[in-house]
Structure formats: C-alpha cells, structure tokens
Structure 1
C-alpha cells in the first residue's frame, strides 16, 4: 500500500536549515456551520519542518505538504502500538509472577517513562525518517 497524505499550509519561516510550514488540522465537523454551538469542533495549528526542497519559497506562500502513508503507519507504531504492547506485556508478566494488581498496574504504567524518555532522546534521529515533500499551490 503506497499512498500519500497531503495537507495545505502556509510557509511560516525560512532559515538555513529549511522551511517551517504551518498547517491547520481540522476535524470533519470543524467546517460545520454549527461549530460555534458545538464542543466537538476541533481545529489545531501544527508546524512541519521541511529540510529538503527544490525551488524558491517565501513567507506567507501557500504550499502543499506531502507525506507517505508509510510514515503515518510508522508514527502510529511508535506513538501508540508499541507503548500499548509494552504496557500489556508488563501487566501480564507481572500478574503471572504473582505481584498484586496494584503493583502490576503501576509497573505497567511506569514502563512508559523510560520508553518516552528513549523517544525524546532519539527524537532528532527519528525526525530524519519522517521527511515531507513540499510543492507550491
């Protein structure tokens, strides 16, 4: 399965290292006419760093950000699936060796601290594997 995820955005900052593009991530109901009366409406402004690009871009220019779906699956794995499996494994192992439910639960949650610390320490290395393309609109 090879596909692309595309978002539109605005170039926010230019530097020697690359571009910072601001994208607005909207939920499906964010464009609804009744969103002012509903608490479900959700809009988030996110920034994406683009390190490798061709062409000239200027601040305020509207662009298209393109990422591969494999990157989305990789982010899903590192952010949700692997920590879930770690918690589940620690919970099952600790209860099977006879620890109380409270200690088992705390141990399962405590395993997330070194896991997310590991992700934080290797964030720059992981950032290199999440590259996006940019195209002018």
Structure 2
C-alpha cells in the first residue's frame, strides 16, 4: 500500500506526512459530477530513520503488505465473524429475533470501542516507511 504525500513537519523521532486519501472512484473522470466521490486529508506519522527530507518535499508513504492484511483482518473480517457468531449463538440459545438483532448490532460497537482503547498499542504494530520521490 503506497500513498503520495507532502512532508508537513519533522521532529527528531517522527516525520509528519500529509496524504490525500481518496475513495476508489475519486480517480474517475466523472468524479467532479458525482456526489459519492470522497477525498480526505490525513496526517501520517512515519518514524524518522534519517531519510534526508525537508518540509514541503514530495514523498511516498508505504505500508508493508503484511501490515495491510492485518489491518483488513482487524477492521473488516473479524467484526463480520463476530456478528455472524453472535447471530448463531443468540439463535441457538433461543433468544427472540429482537434480542438477536440487537446483539448483532451491539457486538461490532463494543469491538470498535475496544479497538479505539487499544489504538496506541496497535499503532506500534503498523510501521510506515518513507521513500523520497525524485523529480527529473
């Protein structure tokens, strides 16, 4: 996973890079006419490994494929499995449809709240790398 960005700040421990996160259809020629095209600015912290960059430099921020798969697992696959598991368990114990549905809605809420509280620990597991782009 790679994103182009611009260095916005440099500290002894981190380099701050502003990237423009785009939805899949943002690159479409009709994106300016479409209400679903979405773009967000994000600031990514990259560990300062001595890469010679200055504020304003264009760079490429890279996340290892292994980390990308882990992020996909944590944010999409595991919550889906938990929802299905809650549906199966509540149906198996004989709960009403209302209780089953409410449990299926409550499980991902609790899961994402837990992820939020563990965000600092998870942040250490996802390492971004920086490559300077060279304009010829």
Q: TM-score, normalised by structure 1?
A: 0.86
SS in 2 for 1:117: helix
Are the structure 2 counterparts of residues 107 and 29 from structure 1 closer, same or farther at C-alpha, using a change threshold of 3 Å? closer
Q: How does 1:31-110 map to 2 (within 5 A)?
A: 31-110=27-106
Provide runs of 4+ in structure 1 moved above 3 Å: 31-34
Match of 1:119 in 2: 115
Query: Deviation of residue 91 (structure 1)?
Result: 0.9
The CA RMSD over aligned residues, in Å, is 1.8
Q: TM-score, normalised by structure 2?
A: 0.86
Provide the rounded CA distance (Å) in 1 between the counterparts of 2:111 and 2:96: 23
Deviations 1:15-58 (CA, angstroms, capped at 9, x unpaired): 24301111112345434443322223332222211024222322
SS in 1 for 2:40: strand
The answer to whether 1:129 aligns with 2:122 is no
Are the structure 2 counterparts of residues 99 and 123 from structure 1 closer, same or farther at C-alpha, using a change threshold of 3 Å? same
Provide the rounded CA distance (Å) in 2 between the counterparts of 1:30 and 1:66: 20
Gaps of 5+ in 2: none
Query: Deviation of residue 73 (structure 1)?
Result: 0.8
Gaps of 5+ in 1: none
Q: Which residue of the other structure, out of 4, 13, 21, is the alignment partner of 1:17? A: 13
Provide the rounded CA distance (Å) in 2 between the counterparts of 1:108 and 1:32: 36
